[in-house]
Structures are given as structure tokens and as C-alpha cells.
Structure 1
Amino acid sequence: MKNTASTDSLAEKVRALVRPERFAHILRVAALAKEIAEKNGLDGERAYLAGLLHDAARDLPEEELLSLAPPENEVERAHPLSLHGRAARRLAEGWGVEDEEVLEAIEGHVYGVDPQNGIGMALYIADIAEPGRGVNGEIRELALAGRLSEAYRLAVANKVNYLQKKGVPIHPRTLAVYERLAHAP
């Protein structure tokens, strides 16, 4: 793992930035991401690290989010909270994390990741399906059964369908991932 900071010191940095309830969610996501990764032949420690850092910026004030991750499109301008993945990536980089797949997973947990990023798929699923949320148990079970790609495809489709039903604009990256998965074998 390319990382100049220890996991314990990174956990303390994250803990200092988020509410206790968010930190509890982060720890559940990290543990589940590790388990999903391991059940799918991936590096569990790298998935744990991505999970530990994924919501580091989630409770930051809007001005800080905008400073760390300036909006790149209208969806981000209208919904600054959607920037928290990219902002968390910037924090992780500043803390010495250099593993590109982990950094992409952190950034992409909001929008989706390229299906070649197994750590990112494990994190995306862990975030939407961690037991504390009380939803998406079937997606979690698919991923834990070694069917990561299938679980990820379902997770992204569920997110797109949910946002469409709510009338919420869908991030261009999410749509691109959705289209790619819809046309994958």
C-alpha cells in the first residue's frame, strides 16, 4: 500500500473532522469494504483505507468543500455536498495517501467508479449497503458472495433510478458509469 501515514493516524484525522455518527458510519463502511474486497480476491487493507477516508470531508462547511473541490459542472454547483468525495481525495493526498486506485475509490464513492477499479466498487457498495443504513442488503449479500460486478451494476442502477424518481439531477459521471455498465457483457 502506497501510503506515508499510518491507518491509526489517518483515523484520528478523520475522527477530528466528522460528527461521531458519521465516524461510526465510516468505520462500518471500512470494515464492510474490506470484507467485500477479500471475498472478491482484492486487497482488503486497501479497501479498508478507502473506506476510512471516503467521508472525511462529508461534514465540512460548504465553503471548505468548494475550496477543496471547485465545482466542475452544474450538478456540483447546485449540490455542493456532491463534492465531498473529491474533497476527501484532496485531504487524503495531503495526508500522504498516494495509491491511485484508493484515491479514485474515495473520490468515486459519490459518483461511481470505473468498473476496472475493484477497490472503488467494493467501497461504493459498502457505502450504500452498510448495515447501519438498513437498506440494500441484497446488494451487500451479492458482493459478499463474490459477485462484485453484479452487485456494483445493481447498486449504480438503483442510485440512478432513485435519483430519477426523486427528480434530482444525476451527476454526469454517474450517468457515464451507468451507461458503461448497462452495455457491459
Structure 2
Amino acid sequence: MKSTVSTAELEERVKALVRPERWAHIQRVAALAREIALKNGLDGERAYLAGLLHDAARDLGEEELLRLAPPENEVERAHPLSLHGRAARVLAEAWGVEDEEVLEAVEGHVYGVDPQNGLGMALYIADISEPGRGVNGEIRELALSGRLLEAYRLAVGNKVAYLTAKGIPLHPRTLAVYRRLQDAP
């Protein structure tokens, strides 16, 4: 792990920032991200780290989210909670995490990541399919069977369909990832 701080210390920092229910979710996501990564030939410990950090800023107030991650577009201005991935990245960097792929995974777990970021795909899938959520089990099983890209394509496609059906504007990054996945072999 490229970091100047231990995983145990990061666990304590994250745990101190979130509600107990969020901490339980974070632990499930981190464990599942590790498992998905290992089943797909990726570094399980780096995936665990991304999972540990992904919701570090999720329970912060809007003012703090806006301070850590100023909105870059209208979707973010209208939905400040959507900034929590970028804000979590800022926190992780401040805590000494330097692994760019992990940082991109943390930031991208809200909007999606480039399909070249295997850790990011593992985290995205773990976040939307961890057993405590009670949904997306088929996506989780697909990823655990070694079909990470296929699972990620399904996960992002489901998110786009859900948001579109609800009339919620798509974040430009989500739309870009969705289009990239449609063109991927």
C-alpha cells in the first residue's frame, strides 16, 4: 500500500467520522471489494483500502462536503451529497494515501470509474451490491465469478436506467462511463 499511514489508523479515522450503521456498511463493502478483486486477479488489500475509505465523508454535513469538494457542475450543486466520493478522496490524501488507483476508486464510487481501473470497478460493484443492501445480488455473483467488466457494465447500466426513470439528471462522469462501457468489447 502506498501510504504514510497504516490501515488500522485509517480504520480509526473513518470510524470516527461516520455513524455506526455507515461503519457497518463500510466494513461489508471493504470485505466484498477485497473478495471481488481477488476473484478477478487484482490486489485485494488495495481494494480493501478503497472500500474502507469510500464513504469516509458520507455523513459529513453539506457545508463540509462543499468545502472539501466544491461543485464542478449543476448536478453537484443541486445534489451536494454526490460530492462525498470526491470529499473522501480529499480526506484520504490528507491522511497520507498516495495510491492513485485507490484514490480514483474512492472518488469514482459515486459516478463510476474508467473501466481501466479494476479496483474502482470492484469497489463500485461492492458498494451497490454488498449483502446489507439486499439488492443487486446477481451483479455481485457475476463479479465474484471472475466477470468483473460484465458485472460493472450491468451495474452502471442499471444506475443509468434507474436515474433516468426517476427523472434524476445524470452526472456527466456517469454518462461518460456509461458510453465508454457501451463501446468496450
TM-score range, shorter chain: over 0.9
Paired amino acid for 1:49 = L
TM-score (norm 2): 1.00
TM-score (norm 1): 1.00
Give the distance between the partners of 2:178 and 2:118, measured in 1 at CA: 16
Asked if 1:167 corresponds to 2:167, the answer is yes
CA RMSD across the alignment:
0.3
After the TM superposition, which residues 64-83 of structure 1 pair with which residues of structure 2 at under 5 Å, given as runs? 64-83=64-83
User: Unaligned stretches of 5+ in structure 2?
Assistant: none
SS across alignment from 2:76? helix
Q: CA deviation at 1:184?
A: 1.1
Residue-pair matches, total = 185
Secondary structure at the counterpart of residue 104 of structure 2: helix
Query: 1:122 maps to which residue?
Result: 122
Q: Which amino acid aligns with 1:30?
A: A
Where in structure 2 are the equivalents of 1:52-63 lying within 5 Å?
52-63=52-63
User: What is the alpha-carbon distance in structure 1 between the residues aligned to residue 119 and residue 183 of structure 2?
Assistant: 21
> For residues 5 and 150 of structure 1, what CA distance do their matches in structure 2 show?
34
Distance 2:123 2:140 in 1: 11
Partner of residue 15, structure 1:
15
The alignment partner of 1:13 has SS state of helix
Corresponding residue number in structure 2 for 1:105: 105
| Cross-structure match for 2:92 | 92
Which contiguous aligned blocks of 4+ residues in structure 1 show a shift greater than 4 angstroms? none
Matched residue, 2:152: 152
Give the superposition deviation at 1:183. 1.2
Q: Distance in 2 between matches of 1:5 and 1:38?
A: 23
Please give the alpha-carbon distance, in whole angstroms, between the structure 2 residues aligned to 1:9 and 1:130. 24
For structure 1, which runs of at least 5 residues remain unmatched after alignment? Answer: none
User: How far is 1:81 from its partner?
Assistant: 0.2
For residues 150 and 34 of structure 1, what CA distance do their matches in structure 2 show?
18
1:161 and 1:98 mapped to 2: Cα distance? 34
- Classify the secondary structure of the residue corresponding to 2:89: helix
Structure 2 residue matching 1:27: 3-state secondary structure: helix
| Residue type at the aligned position of 1:26 | I
Aligned partner letter, 2:87: A
Cα distance in 1, alignment partners of residues 162 and 183 from structure 2: 20
- State the Cα deviation string for residues 116-144 of structure 1 (Å, max 9, x = none): 00000000000000000000000000000
